[in-house]
Amino acid sequence: NIKWSAEGGDVTNQDVKALILSTWDFDKKETLIIDLWTKDMPLDHMNIFIYQTLVSLSKTHLRSTNNEKIFKDFSDFCDYFAEKLELKKN
């Protein structure tokens, strides 16, 4: 099991099924990533988790760079990803 607590966020020892943590090594100019998930996380939940993470990353990139063109391209990819996994129903 993975437990999550957020000080000041009213979350204490909440069970979670997946976690992605990214950090930046300034000197090496590389991302260090820890990605964890439990064996009992359903595949459809993992697909949604990855999709929502991609959407969040696209918004983070927009806020940090103000690059609207890349945001549009990234958003288009997120829509494509969701469509291929049948996450969005028309």
- Give the Å distances, CA to CA, from 71 to 18, 60, 82: 25, 9, 16
Residue ranges covered by each domain of the chain: 1-38, 42-90
Between CA 29 and CA 7 the distance in angstroms is 30
Q: Say what the pLDDT of residue 90 is.
A: 52
Answer whether 0.85 is exceeded by the pTM: yes
Residues 6+ apart with CB under 8 A from 1: 15, 38
89 pLDDT tier (thresholds 50, 70, 90): low
Mean predicted confidence (pLDDT) in 50-57? 98
